[in-house]
Structure 1
Protein backbone atom coordinates (compact mmCIF):
# COMPACT_ATOMS: atom_id res chain seq x y z
CA UNK A 1 0.00 0.00 0.00
CA UNK A 2 1.41 3.38 -0.96
CA UNK A 3 1.32 6.42 1.27
CA UNK A 4 -1.52 7.76 -0.87
CA UNK A 5 -3.58 4.65 -0.18
CA UNK A 6 -3.22 4.86 3.58
CA UNK A 7 -6.06 6.57 5.42
CA UNK A 8 -4.89 9.78 7.06
CA UNK A 9 -6.01 11.16 10.40
CA UNK A 10 -7.87 13.92 8.55
CA UNK A 11 -9.76 11.33 6.49
CA UNK A 12 -10.70 9.39 9.62
CA UNK A 13 -11.83 12.58 11.34
CA UNK A 14 -13.89 13.58 8.31
CA UNK A 15 -15.54 10.14 8.23
CA UNK A 16 -16.31 10.35 11.94
CA UNK A 17 -17.86 13.80 11.52
CA UNK A 18 -19.95 12.59 8.58
CA UNK A 19 -21.21 9.56 10.52
CA UNK A 20 -21.98 11.73 13.53
CA UNK A 21 -23.89 14.25 11.43
CA UNK A 22 -25.96 11.54 9.74
CA UNK A 23 -26.77 9.85 13.06
CA UNK A 24 -27.83 13.12 14.70
CA UNK A 25 -29.97 13.97 11.70
CA UNK A 26 -31.71 10.58 11.98
CA UNK A 27 -32.11 10.72 15.77
CA UNK A 28 -33.55 14.22 16.00
CA UNK A 29 -35.58 14.29 12.80
CA UNK A 30 -33.67 16.91 10.84
CA UNK A 31 -35.42 19.93 9.32
CA UNK A 32 -38.77 18.19 9.00
CA UNK A 33 -38.67 17.17 12.64
CA UNK A 34 -38.14 20.78 13.66
CA UNK A 35 -41.00 21.91 11.44
CA UNK A 36 -43.31 19.31 12.97
CA UNK A 37 -42.31 20.53 16.42
CA UNK A 38 -42.87 24.22 15.73
CA UNK A 39 -45.87 24.40 13.38
CA UNK A 40 -48.69 23.22 15.73
CA UNK A 41 -47.75 25.70 18.43
CA UNK A 42 -47.32 28.42 15.83
CA UNK A 43 -50.79 27.73 14.45
CA UNK A 44 -52.28 27.80 17.96
CA UNK A 45 -50.78 31.12 18.99
CA UNK A 46 -51.50 32.73 15.60
CA UNK A 47 -55.19 31.87 15.65
CA UNK A 48 -55.53 32.76 19.32
CA UNK A 49 -53.83 36.11 18.71
CA UNK A 50 -56.37 36.86 15.97
CA UNK A 51 -59.66 35.76 17.55
CA UNK A 52 -58.91 34.82 21.21
CA UNK A 53 -60.88 31.61 20.67
CA UNK A 54 -59.37 28.72 22.62
CA UNK A 55 -61.46 26.01 20.95
CA UNK A 56 -60.68 27.02 17.37
CA UNK A 57 -56.99 27.48 18.18
CA UNK A 58 -56.74 24.05 19.82
CA UNK A 59 -58.66 22.27 17.04
CA UNK A 60 -56.52 23.90 14.36
CA UNK A 61 -53.26 22.92 16.10
CA UNK A 62 -54.41 19.32 16.50
CA UNK A 63 -55.59 19.17 12.89
CA UNK A 64 -52.21 20.39 11.64
CA UNK A 65 -50.45 17.73 13.72
CA UNK A 66 -52.64 15.02 12.22
CA UNK A 67 -51.97 16.33 8.70
CA UNK A 68 -48.23 16.09 9.34
CA UNK A 69 -48.65 12.45 10.36
CA UNK A 70 -50.70 11.72 7.24
CA UNK A 71 -48.02 13.30 5.08
CA UNK A 72 -45.40 11.10 6.73
CA UNK A 73 -47.50 8.01 6.16
CA UNK A 74 -48.17 8.94 2.53
CA UNK A 75 -44.43 9.33 1.95
CA UNK A 76 -43.76 6.05 3.81
CA UNK A 77 -41.41 7.88 6.11
CA UNK A 78 -40.81 7.33 9.82
CA UNK A 79 -43.63 8.82 11.87
CA UNK A 80 -42.09 8.81 15.35
CA UNK A 81 -41.42 12.56 15.37
CA UNK A 82 -44.83 13.41 13.93
CA UNK A 83 -46.62 11.09 16.37
CA UNK A 84 -44.75 12.60 19.31
CA UNK A 85 -45.97 15.97 18.10
CA UNK A 86 -49.56 14.74 17.93
CA UNK A 87 -49.42 13.38 21.47
CA UNK A 88 -47.89 16.60 22.75
CA UNK A 89 -50.55 18.73 21.07
CA UNK A 90 -53.32 16.40 22.24
CA UNK A 91 -52.19 16.68 25.86
CA UNK A 92 -52.00 20.44 25.50
CA UNK A 93 -55.52 20.58 24.07
CA UNK A 94 -56.87 18.46 26.94
CA UNK A 95 -55.19 20.65 29.57
CA UNK A 96 -56.38 23.87 27.99
CA UNK A 97 -59.95 22.61 27.55
CA UNK A 98 -60.12 21.35 31.12
CA UNK A 99 -58.90 24.58 32.70
CA UNK A 100 -60.25 27.04 30.14
CA UNK A 101 -56.85 28.76 30.19
CA UNK A 102 -55.19 28.98 26.77
CA UNK A 103 -51.72 29.10 28.35
CA UNK A 104 -52.26 25.57 29.63
CA UNK A 105 -51.99 24.39 26.02
CA UNK A 106 -48.24 24.79 26.50
CA UNK A 107 -48.02 23.38 30.02
CA UNK A 108 -47.50 19.66 29.17
CA UNK A 109 -44.66 20.53 26.82
CA UNK A 110 -43.05 22.72 29.46
CA UNK A 111 -43.29 19.99 32.08
CA UNK A 112 -41.83 17.51 29.60
CA UNK A 113 -38.94 19.88 28.89
CA UNK A 114 -38.29 20.29 32.61
CA UNK A 115 -38.36 16.53 33.20
CA UNK A 116 -36.11 15.87 30.21
CA UNK A 117 -33.60 18.48 31.34
CA UNK A 118 -33.43 16.90 34.78
CA UNK A 119 -33.12 13.44 33.22
CA UNK A 120 -30.06 14.53 31.23
CA UNK A 121 -28.38 15.84 34.38
CA UNK A 122 -29.32 12.93 36.65
CA UNK A 123 -28.33 10.19 34.21
CA UNK A 124 -25.00 11.88 33.58
CA UNK A 125 -24.29 12.07 37.30
CA UNK A 126 -25.22 8.38 37.53
CA UNK A 127 -22.65 7.50 34.86
CA UNK A 128 -25.12 6.61 32.11
CA UNK A 129 -25.62 9.86 30.16
CA UNK A 130 -29.02 9.92 28.49
CA UNK A 131 -27.72 11.10 25.14
CA UNK A 132 -25.57 7.96 24.99
CA UNK A 133 -28.58 5.76 25.68
CA UNK A 134 -30.45 7.53 22.88
CA UNK A 135 -27.70 7.57 20.26
CA UNK A 136 -25.98 4.27 21.04
CA UNK A 137 -28.38 2.18 18.90
CA UNK A 138 -28.26 4.80 16.12
CA UNK A 139 -24.47 4.49 15.97
CA UNK A 140 -24.76 0.66 16.20
CA UNK A 141 -22.66 0.70 19.37
CA UNK A 142 -25.43 0.11 21.92
CA UNK A 143 -23.84 0.44 25.39
CA UNK A 144 -20.29 -0.49 24.38
CA UNK A 145 -19.22 3.10 25.10
CA UNK A 146 -19.79 2.56 28.83
CA UNK A 147 -16.96 0.05 29.34
CA UNK A 148 -15.00 -0.20 26.09
CA UNK A 149 -14.81 3.37 24.81
CA UNK A 150 -14.08 5.83 27.65
CA UNK A 151 -13.40 8.73 25.30
CA UNK A 152 -16.82 8.33 23.77
CA UNK A 153 -18.46 8.06 27.19
CA UNK A 154 -16.85 11.37 28.14
CA UNK A 155 -18.23 12.97 24.98
CA UNK A 156 -21.71 11.66 25.74
CA UNK A 157 -21.44 13.08 29.26
CA UNK A 158 -20.49 16.51 27.90
CA UNK A 159 -23.36 16.42 25.42
CA UNK A 160 -25.84 15.38 28.10
CA UNK A 161 -24.69 18.23 30.34
CA UNK A 162 -25.20 20.60 27.44
CA UNK A 163 -28.73 19.33 26.74
CA UNK A 164 -29.67 19.40 30.42
CA UNK A 165 -28.40 22.91 31.08
CA UNK A 166 -29.92 24.31 27.87
CA UNK A 167 -33.33 22.79 28.60
CA UNK A 168 -33.29 23.94 32.22
CA UNK A 169 -32.26 27.42 31.08
CA UNK A 170 -35.23 27.41 28.70
CA UNK A 171 -37.51 26.43 31.59
CA UNK A 172 -36.07 29.24 33.70
CA UNK A 173 -37.34 31.67 31.08
CA UNK A 174 -40.71 30.06 30.33
CA UNK A 175 -42.10 29.22 33.77
CA UNK A 176 -42.00 32.80 35.11
CA UNK A 177 -43.62 33.98 31.86
CA UNK A 178 -46.30 31.34 32.27
CA UNK A 179 -47.34 32.96 35.55
CA UNK A 180 -47.31 36.64 34.68
CA UNK A 181 -47.30 37.14 30.87
CA UNK A 182 -50.52 37.19 28.85
CA UNK A 183 -51.28 34.25 26.59
CA UNK A 184 -50.31 35.78 23.27
CA UNK A 185 -46.96 37.17 24.44
CA UNK A 186 -46.17 33.92 26.25
CA UNK A 187 -47.09 31.86 23.18
CA UNK A 188 -44.89 33.86 20.84
CA UNK A 189 -41.93 33.68 23.23
CA UNK A 190 -42.40 29.93 23.54
CA UNK A 191 -42.55 29.47 19.76
CA UNK A 192 -39.43 31.63 19.38
CA UNK A 193 -37.60 29.41 21.88
CA UNK A 194 -38.51 26.16 20.12
CA UNK A 195 -35.70 25.96 17.57
CA UNK A 196 -32.64 28.00 18.72
CA UNK A 197 -31.98 26.06 21.97
CA UNK A 198 -32.54 22.79 20.11
CA UNK A 199 -30.08 23.74 17.38
CA UNK A 200 -27.51 24.82 19.96
CA UNK A 201 -27.80 21.50 21.82
CA UNK A 202 -27.54 19.48 18.59
CA UNK A 203 -24.54 21.51 17.44
CA UNK A 204 -22.73 21.01 20.74
CA UNK A 205 -23.50 17.28 20.58
CA UNK A 206 -22.02 17.16 17.08
CA UNK A 207 -18.90 19.02 18.25
CA UNK A 208 -18.31 16.69 21.20
CA UNK A 209 -18.96 13.45 19.29
CA UNK A 210 -17.05 14.49 16.16
CA UNK A 211 -13.93 14.85 18.32
CA UNK A 212 -14.56 11.60 20.21
CA UNK A 213 -13.22 8.16 19.24
CA UNK A 214 -15.35 6.40 16.60
CA UNK A 215 -18.13 4.11 17.84
CA UNK A 216 -17.58 0.38 18.23
CA UNK A 217 -19.96 -1.37 15.84
CA UNK A 218 -21.21 -4.18 18.11
CA UNK A 219 -23.60 -5.42 15.44
CA UNK A 220 -20.71 -5.97 13.02
CA UNK A 221 -18.81 -7.73 15.79
CA UNK A 222 -21.72 -10.08 16.48
CA UNK A 223 -22.13 -10.80 12.77
CA UNK A 224 -18.41 -11.53 12.45
CA UNK A 225 -18.55 -13.84 15.48
CA UNK A 226 -21.51 -15.71 14.03
CA UNK A 227 -19.70 -16.16 10.71
CA UNK A 228 -16.59 -17.43 12.50
CA UNK A 229 -18.67 -19.94 14.48
CA UNK A 230 -20.41 -21.14 11.33
CA UNK A 231 -17.08 -21.57 9.55
CA UNK A 232 -15.71 -23.44 12.57
CA UNK A 233 -18.72 -25.79 12.62
CA UNK A 234 -18.40 -26.36 8.87
CA UNK A 235 -14.69 -27.13 9.22
CA UNK A 236 -15.38 -29.60 12.06
CA UNK A 237 -18.08 -31.25 10.00
CA UNK A 238 -15.73 -31.67 7.04
CA UNK A 239 -12.98 -32.99 9.28
CA UNK A 240 -15.35 -35.43 10.95
CA UNK A 241 -16.59 -36.65 7.59
CA UNK A 242 -13.10 -37.27 6.33
CA UNK A 243 -12.04 -39.18 9.47
CA UNK A 244 -15.27 -41.16 9.62
CA UNK A 245 -14.84 -42.79 6.17
CA UNK A 246 -13.06 -46.11 6.42
CA UNK A 247 -10.87 -47.23 3.52
CA UNK A 248 -12.69 -49.31 0.94
CA UNK A 249 -10.27 -52.23 1.41
CA UNK A 250 -10.98 -52.27 5.14
CA UNK A 251 -14.73 -52.56 4.64
CA UNK A 252 -14.59 -55.33 1.99
CA UNK A 253 -11.50 -57.39 2.95
CA UNK A 254 -11.32 -60.55 0.93
CA UNK A 255 -11.20 -63.76 2.95
CA UNK A 256 -8.31 -66.06 2.30
Structure 2
Protein backbone atom coordinates (compact mmCIF):
# COMPACT_ATOMS: atom_id res chain seq x y z
CA UNK A 1 0.00 0.00 0.00
CA UNK A 2 1.43 3.36 -1.00
CA UNK A 3 1.20 6.68 0.76
CA UNK A 4 0.39 7.51 4.36
CA UNK A 5 -3.06 6.47 5.64
CA UNK A 6 -5.35 9.47 6.07
CA UNK A 7 -8.71 9.99 7.74
CA UNK A 8 -11.83 9.54 5.64
CA UNK A 9 -12.34 12.34 3.15
CA UNK A 10 -8.66 13.27 3.04
CA UNK A 11 -6.25 12.34 0.29
CA UNK A 12 -3.35 10.10 1.21
CA UNK A 13 -0.04 11.87 1.50
CA UNK A 14 2.57 10.49 -0.90
CA UNK A 15 5.63 8.83 0.59
CA UNK A 16 9.07 10.33 0.01
CA UNK A 17 9.75 7.63 -2.60
CA UNK A 18 6.54 8.45 -4.48
CA UNK A 19 7.21 12.18 -4.31
CA UNK A 20 10.77 11.71 -5.58
CA UNK A 21 9.54 9.47 -8.40
CA UNK A 22 6.96 12.07 -9.45
CA UNK A 23 9.61 14.79 -9.36
CA UNK A 24 11.83 12.65 -11.59
CA UNK A 25 8.98 12.16 -14.07
CA UNK A 26 8.36 15.91 -14.14
CA UNK A 27 12.03 16.78 -14.55
CA UNK A 28 13.73 17.18 -17.89
CA UNK A 29 15.22 13.69 -17.83
CA UNK A 30 11.74 12.23 -17.34
CA UNK A 31 10.48 13.52 -20.69
CA UNK A 32 11.84 10.36 -22.35
CA UNK A 33 11.21 6.99 -20.75
CA UNK A 34 14.35 4.83 -20.37
CA UNK A 35 14.80 2.82 -23.55
CA UNK A 36 12.85 5.22 -25.77
CA UNK A 37 14.43 7.11 -28.64
CA UNK A 38 14.67 10.86 -27.90
CA UNK A 39 13.69 13.38 -30.54
CA UNK A 40 13.60 17.14 -30.95
CA UNK A 41 10.09 17.40 -29.53
CA UNK A 42 11.22 15.56 -26.38
CA UNK A 43 14.13 17.93 -25.96
CA UNK A 44 11.87 20.96 -26.38
CA UNK A 45 9.47 19.56 -23.75
CA UNK A 46 12.38 18.94 -21.39
CA UNK A 47 13.36 22.61 -21.41
CA UNK A 48 9.75 23.69 -20.93
CA UNK A 49 8.75 24.18 -24.55
CA UNK A 50 9.05 27.49 -26.37
CA UNK A 51 7.46 29.31 -23.42
CA UNK A 52 9.84 27.71 -20.94
CA UNK A 53 12.80 28.58 -23.16
CA UNK A 54 11.74 32.22 -23.27
CA UNK A 55 11.10 32.31 -19.52
CA UNK A 56 14.54 30.82 -18.85
CA UNK A 57 16.54 33.12 -21.12
CA UNK A 58 14.77 36.49 -21.22
CA UNK A 59 15.31 37.66 -17.58
CA UNK A 60 19.05 36.96 -17.73
CA UNK A 61 19.35 38.46 -21.18
CA UNK A 62 17.42 41.54 -20.06
CA UNK A 63 19.75 42.04 -17.09
CA UNK A 64 22.83 41.66 -19.29
CA UNK A 65 21.65 44.13 -21.95
CA UNK A 66 20.40 46.76 -19.48
CA UNK A 67 23.46 46.63 -17.25
CA UNK A 68 25.88 46.64 -20.20
CA UNK A 69 24.39 49.79 -21.70
CA UNK A 70 23.27 51.71 -18.58
CA UNK A 71 25.39 50.43 -15.65
CA UNK A 72 22.25 51.14 -13.63
CA UNK A 73 22.03 48.22 -11.19
CA UNK A 74 18.50 48.87 -9.81
CA UNK A 75 17.09 49.14 -13.33
CA UNK A 76 18.98 46.06 -14.51
CA UNK A 77 17.66 43.83 -11.70
CA UNK A 78 14.13 45.23 -11.38
CA UNK A 79 13.30 44.90 -15.09
CA UNK A 80 13.76 41.08 -15.05
CA UNK A 81 11.48 40.90 -12.00
CA UNK A 82 8.78 42.77 -13.93
CA UNK A 83 9.22 40.40 -16.87
CA UNK A 84 8.95 37.37 -14.55
CA UNK A 85 5.75 38.76 -13.02
CA UNK A 86 4.31 39.06 -16.53
CA UNK A 87 5.18 35.40 -17.16
CA UNK A 88 3.26 34.39 -14.01
CA UNK A 89 0.24 36.49 -15.00
CA UNK A 90 0.20 35.04 -18.53
CA UNK A 91 0.22 31.50 -17.13
CA UNK A 92 -2.59 32.34 -14.73
CA UNK A 93 -4.69 33.87 -17.51
CA UNK A 94 -4.09 30.96 -19.87
CA UNK A 95 -4.59 28.45 -17.02
CA UNK A 96 -1.21 26.86 -17.65
CA UNK A 97 1.03 25.27 -15.02
CA UNK A 98 2.07 28.28 -12.97
CA UNK A 99 4.78 26.80 -10.74
CA UNK A 100 7.63 27.00 -13.32
CA UNK A 101 7.01 30.74 -13.70
CA UNK A 102 6.65 31.22 -9.93
CA UNK A 103 9.93 29.37 -9.34
CA UNK A 104 11.59 31.58 -11.93
CA UNK A 105 10.18 34.71 -10.28
CA UNK A 106 11.48 33.62 -6.88
CA UNK A 107 14.93 32.96 -8.31
CA UNK A 108 15.04 36.30 -10.12
CA UNK A 109 13.75 38.08 -7.02
CA UNK A 110 16.32 36.53 -4.67
CA UNK A 111 19.13 37.27 -7.12
CA UNK A 112 18.01 40.88 -7.47
CA UNK A 113 17.75 41.25 -3.69
CA UNK A 114 21.31 39.99 -3.21
CA UNK A 115 22.67 42.38 -5.83
CA UNK A 116 20.80 45.38 -4.41
CA UNK A 117 21.78 44.49 -0.82
CA UNK A 118 25.49 44.27 -1.58
CA UNK A 119 25.56 46.86 -4.37
CA UNK A 120 27.61 44.45 -6.49
CA UNK A 121 26.14 43.59 -9.89
CA UNK A 122 27.95 40.25 -10.00
CA UNK A 123 25.94 39.11 -6.95
CA UNK A 124 22.94 38.85 -9.27
CA UNK A 125 24.53 35.53 -10.30
CA UNK A 126 25.42 34.33 -6.80
CA UNK A 127 22.28 32.21 -6.32
CA UNK A 128 22.92 30.34 -9.57
CA UNK A 129 26.50 29.66 -8.53
CA UNK A 130 25.37 28.31 -5.15
CA UNK A 131 22.81 26.04 -6.85
CA UNK A 132 25.53 24.68 -9.14
CA UNK A 133 27.76 23.97 -6.13
CA UNK A 134 24.95 22.10 -4.34
CA UNK A 135 24.14 20.03 -7.44
CA UNK A 136 27.81 19.18 -7.98
CA UNK A 137 28.21 18.09 -4.37
CA UNK A 138 25.06 15.94 -4.52
CA UNK A 139 26.34 14.17 -7.64
CA UNK A 140 29.81 13.60 -6.18
CA UNK A 141 28.37 12.25 -2.92
CA UNK A 142 26.13 9.86 -4.88
CA UNK A 143 29.21 8.59 -6.71
CA UNK A 144 31.20 8.27 -3.49
CA UNK A 145 28.51 6.07 -1.90
CA UNK A 146 28.18 4.02 -5.13
CA UNK A 147 24.63 5.18 -5.80
CA UNK A 148 25.00 7.33 -8.95
CA UNK A 149 22.22 9.89 -8.91
CA UNK A 150 21.29 9.27 -12.54
CA UNK A 151 20.94 5.58 -11.70
CA UNK A 152 18.50 6.37 -8.90
CA UNK A 153 16.43 8.62 -11.17
CA UNK A 154 16.37 6.15 -14.06
CA UNK A 155 15.42 3.31 -11.71
CA UNK A 156 12.39 5.31 -10.60
CA UNK A 157 11.42 6.17 -14.17
CA UNK A 158 11.75 2.60 -15.39
CA UNK A 159 10.19 0.99 -12.30
CA UNK A 160 13.39 -1.02 -11.95
CA UNK A 161 14.56 -0.42 -8.35
CA UNK A 162 18.28 -0.99 -8.04
CA UNK A 163 18.45 -2.44 -11.55
CA UNK A 164 21.68 -0.62 -12.30
CA UNK A 165 23.32 -2.42 -9.35
CA UNK A 166 22.36 -5.85 -10.67
CA UNK A 167 23.10 -5.28 -14.36
CA UNK A 168 26.71 -4.33 -15.14
CA UNK A 169 25.80 -2.69 -18.47
CA UNK A 170 23.20 -0.47 -16.81
CA UNK A 171 25.61 0.29 -13.99
CA UNK A 172 28.30 1.48 -16.39
CA UNK A 173 25.82 3.62 -18.32
CA UNK A 174 24.39 5.45 -15.29
CA UNK A 175 27.92 5.92 -13.94
CA UNK A 176 29.06 7.60 -17.16
CA UNK A 177 25.84 9.65 -17.34
CA UNK A 178 26.32 10.85 -13.76
CA UNK A 179 29.88 11.89 -14.56
CA UNK A 180 28.53 13.84 -17.55
CA UNK A 181 26.38 15.89 -15.18
CA UNK A 182 29.35 16.33 -12.85
CA UNK A 183 31.19 17.73 -15.86
CA UNK A 184 28.34 20.14 -16.64
CA UNK A 185 28.32 21.70 -13.17
CA UNK A 186 32.12 21.63 -12.88
CA UNK A 187 32.52 23.44 -16.21
CA UNK A 188 29.94 26.04 -15.20
CA UNK A 189 31.69 26.71 -11.91
CA UNK A 190 35.14 26.66 -13.51
CA UNK A 191 34.05 29.31 -16.00
CA UNK A 192 31.84 31.44 -13.76
CA UNK A 193 33.70 31.58 -10.43
CA UNK A 194 36.82 33.37 -11.74
CA UNK A 195 34.60 35.95 -13.49
CA UNK A 196 32.50 36.39 -10.36
CA UNK A 197 35.51 37.03 -8.14
CA UNK A 198 37.02 39.35 -10.77
CA UNK A 199 33.79 41.36 -10.93
CA UNK A 200 33.45 40.81 -14.69
CA UNK A 201 29.67 41.17 -14.66
CA UNK A 202 29.00 41.48 -18.40
CA UNK A 203 31.26 38.56 -19.29
CA UNK A 204 29.80 36.50 -16.45
CA UNK A 205 26.28 37.14 -17.73
CA UNK A 206 27.25 36.09 -21.26
CA UNK A 207 28.94 32.88 -20.07
CA UNK A 208 25.95 32.05 -17.87
CA UNK A 209 23.60 32.30 -20.84
CA UNK A 210 25.83 30.06 -22.99
CA UNK A 211 26.32 27.45 -20.26
CA UNK A 212 22.67 27.60 -19.22
CA UNK A 213 19.90 26.11 -21.34
CA UNK A 214 22.05 25.20 -24.42
CA UNK A 215 24.65 23.30 -22.36
CA UNK A 216 21.93 21.66 -20.27
CA UNK A 217 20.14 20.49 -23.42
CA UNK A 218 23.34 18.93 -24.81
CA UNK A 219 24.09 16.96 -21.63
CA UNK A 220 20.46 15.89 -21.33
CA UNK A 221 20.49 14.56 -24.90
CA UNK A 222 23.70 12.61 -24.24
CA UNK A 223 22.15 11.16 -21.08
CA UNK A 224 19.06 10.02 -22.98
CA UNK A 225 21.20 8.30 -25.62
CA UNK A 226 23.35 6.55 -23.02
CA UNK A 227 20.35 5.33 -21.03
CA UNK A 228 18.55 4.20 -24.18
CA UNK A 229 21.50 1.97 -25.08
CA UNK A 230 21.29 0.07 -21.78
CA UNK A 231 17.56 0.13 -21.09
CA UNK A 232 16.21 -0.56 -24.58
CA UNK A 233 13.76 -3.44 -24.51
CA UNK A 234 14.97 -6.51 -26.39
CA UNK A 235 13.12 -7.19 -29.60
CA UNK A 236 10.42 -9.81 -29.29
CA UNK A 237 11.40 -13.08 -30.98
CA UNK A 238 9.73 -13.70 -34.31
CA UNK A 239 6.93 -16.28 -34.13
CA UNK A 240 7.99 -19.70 -35.32
CA UNK A 241 6.68 -20.74 -38.71
CA UNK A 242 3.95 -23.38 -38.48
CA UNK A 243 5.18 -26.88 -39.18
CA UNK A 244 4.21 -28.18 -42.60
CA UNK A 245 2.77 -31.68 -42.30
CA UNK A 246 4.61 -34.30 -44.30
CA UNK A 247 2.77 -35.41 -47.43
CA UNK A 248 2.79 -39.19 -47.83
CA UNK A 249 4.16 -40.40 -51.19
CA UNK A 250 1.61 -41.16 -53.86
CA UNK A 251 0.84 -44.90 -54.37
CA UNK A 252 2.72 -46.57 -57.19
CA UNK A 253 0.73 -47.23 -60.39
CA UNK A 254 2.62 -50.42 -61.29
Q: Identify the TM-score tier after normalising by the shorter chain.
A: 0.5 to 0.7
**Preserved contact between residue 133 and residue 142 of structure 1 (Cα < 8 Å):** no
Identify the match of residue 133 of structure 2 among 114, 127, 144: 114
Q: Report the counterpart of residue 189 of structure 1 in structure 2.
A: 207
How large is the Cα RMSD of the aligned pairs? 3.0
Listed as ranges, the matches of 1:28-67 within 5 Å are: 28-67=47-86
**Preserved contact between residue 120 and residue 160 of structure 1 (Cα < 8 Å):** yes
Kindly state the Cα deviation for residue 202 of structure 1 after the two structures are TM-superposed: 0.9
3-state SS in 1 of match to 2:231: coil
**Preserved contact between residue 117 and residue 164 of structure 1 (Cα < 8 Å):** yes
Kindly state the Cα deviation for residue 181 of structure 1 after the two structures are TM-superposed: 4.4
In structure 1, distance between residues paired with 2:75 and 2:161: 46
Matched, 1:165 2:193: no
Matched, 1:102 2:121: yes
Q: Which protein shows a greater Rg?
A: 1
Q: Report the counterpart of residue 71 of structure 1 in structure 2.
A: 90
TM-score by length of 1: 0.67
Kindly state the Cα deviation for residue 42 of structure 1 after the two structures are TM-superposed: 0.8
CA deviations 1:86-106 (Å, max 9, x no partner) are: 222122011101101111001
**Any unmatched runs of 5+ in structure 2?**
1-33, 234-254
- Number of aligned residue pairs: 201
In structure 2, distance between residues paired with 1:24 and 1:143: 25
Structure number with higher helix proportion:
1
**Any unmatched runs of 5+ in structure 1?**
1-14, 216-256
**Preserved contact between residue 66 and residue 76 of structure 2 (Cα < 8 Å):** yes
